[in-house]
């Protein structure tokens, strides 16, 4: 029962039902038929409940509006899937809503309902004492009603109902001209947080996904060591908890204790747990956290820190590249920076300041050579007329082991061990702090798809290529002399084995692992063909 848009609840229900209608038409028609028949059967039951509750509330001096209905199709379908049961096995298909004038009456009504029928403790939720993140408030309880049928009641004030139906904006109808209280401030904080998320997330779909997690997920309620209750989406971790306390607590979260015991940061918090966050000034957000944190606030703050850190690293690398390039043309980079010439060059490249220029160089968007040519045009002019020498300087330069990088000299290059790229593979260069340029296979899972500005175009210079390590796995029948046969096949293609191991299974199969030195992708293909020709081998794969 969450909403932030006008008439959001009704549209959400309608949208869910229509989605079910078009995505699962057969199931929808079956539910529509059964619910219609159930509605006819339930009319008298609903009227009986309403009259009984109304009479008891009036007797206690409580004026209330009571409405009863059958739950909507998608809600029923979701319950059938979650519990793996048939329609006939759903007993809590009828729900009643009771609206009263103030908060105290909500709890009085709850007491009266529980005096009439036995409640199910596991189905009681107090969203008035502990509102949802979007300030939804209501009491939910399910009782065993007449004939043993499960009946759900939602109890709230008229104002709470307006917020549930039309969103937080409806609340201000009741507050115009009054100062904000704690409740109002929480609502405003939530709205500000929504705006902040929207500004920090570039992808609108990603923003909507984040909002849906905060609004429509089942909640868990945990306690701080001081007894404060924190509401978090189901599946939240200690890091989510840390960010819900304060951004700085989240940024420096190094561990957590749940009920006095240390737990991993990936741990999923459960209802009623007491969570103590352990912090350290040496700890900083980790990009890997994004894979398991749940809340929008945690994701936004982690992305903010990672973005700032990557900007700092790009500036550092850009400075390093400039210092080397300026030194080669016998110019002082530091003096050029202090003189304001770097600032002027930045503006010529439509950048705001010199640091932005350094970051662009560090990300590979510009080269240090381009900047030097812009600041010192006389150096560029002095190079003209040198024919072949000038042509060579403007061409992509082989830096190491057959990799060519356009417009950049003397950058440190390393090959990623996670995917062991070979000449002939589609590759991409990725700028890494303190490591220069790391070469990955284009489809490597460790390539950060979300930071394309740190990529650099690289290519293979096969004339300068040397041997490269690659790992392969051979699956075959276990037999005497197997390793000798496999080793002979590899050697026959001119490849050198640097390490090897073998594991056998209970069904007489063998898994053999080799690390070999290969010249390029074609060389690897020849080795694989030779291995497949060995008797008993049924699969040869490259391990990335």
Candidates 44, 26, 45, 23; CA nearest to 34 is 26
More confident position, 342 or 203: 342
Domain locations in the chain as residue ranges: 8-173, 176-213, 304-392, 396-464, 469-543
Q: Compute the average pLDDT of residues 291-307.
A: 89
What pLDDT is attached to residue 436?
67
Helix (H/G/I), strand (E/B), else coil: 304: helix
Helix (H/G/I), strand (E/B), else coil: 4: coil
What pLDDT is attached to residue 168?
54
What pLDDT is attached to residue 396?
40
What pLDDT is attached to residue 360?
84
Sequence-ordered list of residues with C-beta below 8 angstroms from that of 414, at least 6 positions apart, any chain: 435, 436, 437, 438, 439
Least reliable range by pLDDT among 80-84, 87-91, 221-225, 266-270: 87-91
C-beta separation of 404 from 397 below 8 A: yes
> Given the DSSP bridges, would you call strands 118-119 and 139-144 parallel, antiparallel or unpaired?
antiparallel
- How far is residue 366's CA from residue 540's CA, in Å, rounded to a whole number? 42
pLDDT in tens, 351-363: 888 998 888 887 7
What pLDDT is attached to residue 13?
59
Helix (H/G/I), strand (E/B), else coil: 102: coil
- How far is residue 47's CA from residue 161's CA, in Å, rounded to a whole number? 22
Q: Is the pLDDT of residue 77 over 90?
A: no
Residue 100 DSSP one-character state: E
- Ranked by mean pLDDT, the top range of 162-166, 209-213, 331-335, 444-448 is 331-335
Sequence-ordered list of residues with C-beta below 8 angstroms from that of 381, at least 6 positions apart, any chain: none
Candidates 93, 170, 89, 112; CA nearest to 136 is 170
How sure is the predictor about 186, in pLDDT bands with cuts at 50, 70 and 90? low
How sure is the predictor about 114, in pLDDT bands with cuts at 50, 70 and 90? very high
Structure-token pair, residue 543: 């391990």
Q: Compute the average pLDDT of residues 104-117.
A: 93
- Ranked by mean pLDDT, the top range of 98-102, 175-179, 401-405, 488-492 is 98-102
Structure-token pair, residue 478: 């276990």
What pLDDT is attached to residue 92?
63
Secondary structure, 3-state, 132-195: CCCCCCCEEEEEECHHHCEEEEEEEEHHHHHHHHHCHHHHHHCCCCCCCCHHHHHHHHHHHHHH
DSSP H/E element including 67: strand 65-70
Angle at CA of residue 288, ends 285 and 290, nearest 5°: 80
What pLDDT is attached to residue 370?
86
Least reliable range by pLDDT among 40-54, 232-246, 387-401, 413-427: 387-401
Least reliable range by pLDDT among 116-125, 254-263, 389-398, 505-514: 389-398
Least reliable range by pLDDT among 154-163, 332-341, 389-398: 389-398
Least reliable range by pLDDT among 130-139, 197-206, 294-303: 197-206
Sequence-ordered list of residues with C-beta below 8 angstroms from that of 539, at least 6 positions apart, any chain: 473, 474, 475, 476
C-beta separation of 245 from 225 below 8 A: no
Q: Cα-flanking dihedrals φ and ψ of residue 294, to 5°?
A: -110, -40
Q: Compute the average pLDDT of residues 447-458.
A: 60
Percentage of the chain exceeding pLDDT 70: 72
- How far is residue 71's CA from residue 243's CA, in Å, rounded to a whole number? 36
C-beta separation of 77 from 21 below 8 A: no
More confident position, 446 or 329: 329
- How far is residue 449's CA from residue 315's CA, in Å, rounded to a whole number? 20
pLDDT in tens, 266-280: 999 988 888 999 999
- How far is residue 355's CA from residue 349's CA, in Å, rounded to a whole number? 12
Candidates 409, 416, 440, 418; CA nearest to 427 is 440
> Given the DSSP bridges, would you call strands 139-144 and 150-157 parallel, antiparallel or unpaired?
antiparallel
Candidates 222, 233, 236; CA nearest to 275 is 222
Q: Is the pLDDT of residue 399 over 50?
A: no
Residue 268 DSSP one-character state: P
Candidates 235, 261, 238, 262; CA nearest to 249 is 238
CA distances to 9, 192, 233, 510, 536 from 475, rounded to whole Å, are: 56, 57, 45, 6, 9
- How far is residue 517's CA from residue 495's CA, in Å, rounded to a whole number? 6
Do 8-173 and 469-543 agree at the fold level? no
Residue 533 DSSP one-character state: T
How would CATH label the architecture of 469-543?
2-Layer Sandwich (3.30)
What is 8-173's CATH topology? Beta Polymerase; domain 2 (3.30.460)
Q: Is the pLDDT of residue 66 over 70?
A: yes
pTM metric for this prediction: 0.44
Helix (H/G/I), strand (E/B), else coil: 445: coil
More confident position, 38 or 334: 334
How many residues belong to the chain? Answer: 544
CA terminus-to-terminus distance, the chain: 46
What pLDDT is attached to residue 269?
93
Neighbours of 67 (CB within 10 A): 12
Q: Is the pLDDT of residue 177 over 50?
A: no
How sure is the predictor about 392, in pLDDT bands with cuts at 50, 70 and 90? very low
pLDDT in tens, 456-495: 667 776 655 567 888 999 999 888 888 888 988 998 888 8
C-beta separation of 537 from 510 below 8 A: no
pLDDT in tens, 198-247: 545 555 555 555 554 455 456 788 888 887 878 888 899 999 999 999 99
Taking all residues of the chain, what is their mean pLDDT, rounded to a whole number? 78
**Beta partners for 100?**
157
């Amino acid at each position: 029962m969450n909403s932030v848009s006008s008439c959001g609840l009704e549209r959400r229900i309608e949208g869910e039902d229509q989605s079910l209608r078009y995505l699962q038409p057969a199931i929808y028609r079956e539910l529509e038929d059964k619910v219609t028949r159930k509605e006819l059967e339930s009319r008298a039951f609903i009227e009986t409940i309403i009259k009984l509750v109304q009479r008891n509330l009036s007797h206690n001096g409580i004026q209330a509006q009571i409405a009863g209905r059958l739950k909507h199709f998608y809600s029923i379908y979701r319950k059938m899937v979650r519990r793996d049961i048939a329609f006939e096995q759903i007993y809590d298909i009828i729900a009643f809503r009771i609206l009263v004038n103030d908060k105290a009456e909500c709890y009085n009504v709850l007491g009266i309902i529980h005096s009439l029928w036995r409640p199910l403790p596991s189905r009681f939720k107090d969203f008035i004492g502990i509102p949802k993140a979007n300030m939804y408030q209501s009491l939910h309880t399910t009782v065993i009603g007449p004939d043993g049928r499960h009946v759900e009641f939602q109890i709230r004030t008229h104002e709470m109902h307006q917020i549930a139906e039309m969103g937080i904006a409806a609340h201000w109808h009741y507050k115009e001209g009054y100062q904000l209280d704690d409740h109002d401030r929480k609502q405003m904080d939530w709205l500000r947080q929504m705006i902040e998320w929207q500004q920090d997330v570039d992808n609108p779909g990603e923003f909507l996904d984040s909002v849906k997690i905060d609004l429509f997920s089942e909640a868990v309620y945990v306690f701080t060591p001081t007894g404060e209750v924190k509401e978090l989406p189901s599946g939240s971790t200690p890091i989510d908890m840390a960010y819900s306390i304060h951004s700085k607590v989240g940024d420096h979260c190094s561990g957590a204790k749940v009920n006095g015991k240390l737990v991993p940061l990936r741990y999923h918090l459960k209802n009623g747990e007491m969570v103590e966050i352990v912090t350290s000034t040496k700890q900083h957000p980790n990009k890997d956290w994004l894979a398991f944190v749940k809340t929008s606030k945690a994701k936004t703050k982690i992305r903010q820190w990672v973005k700032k850190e990557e900007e700092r690293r790009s500036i550092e690398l850009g400075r390093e590249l400039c210092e080397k390039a300026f030194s080669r043309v016998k110019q002082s980079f530091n003096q050029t920076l202090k003189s304001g010439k770097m600032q002027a060059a930045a503006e010529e490249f439509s950048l705001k300041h010199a640091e932005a220029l350094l970051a662009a160089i560090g990300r590979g968007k510009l080269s240090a050579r381009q900047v030097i040519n812009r600041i010192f045009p006389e150096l560029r002019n002095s190079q003209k007329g040198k024919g072949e020498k000038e042509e060579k300087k403007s061409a992509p330069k082989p830096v190491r082991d057959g990799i060519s990088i356009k417009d950049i000299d003397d950058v440190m290059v390393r090959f990623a061990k996670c995917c062991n790229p070979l000449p002939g593979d589609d590759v991409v260069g990725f700028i890494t702090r303190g490591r220069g340029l790391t070469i990955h296979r284009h489809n490597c899972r460790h390539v950060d798809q979300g930071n394309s500005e740190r990529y650099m175009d690289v290519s293979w210079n096969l004339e300068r290529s040397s041997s490269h390590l690659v790992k392969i796995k051979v699956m075959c029948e276990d037999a005497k002399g197997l390793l000798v046969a496999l080793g002979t096949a590899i050697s026959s293609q001119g490849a050198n084995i640097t390490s090897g191991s073998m594991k056998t299974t209970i069904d007489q199969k063998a898994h053999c692992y080799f690390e070999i030195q290969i010249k390029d992708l074609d060389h690897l293909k020849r080795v694989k063909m030779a291995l497949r020709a060995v008797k008993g081998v049924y699969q040869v794969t490259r391990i990335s």
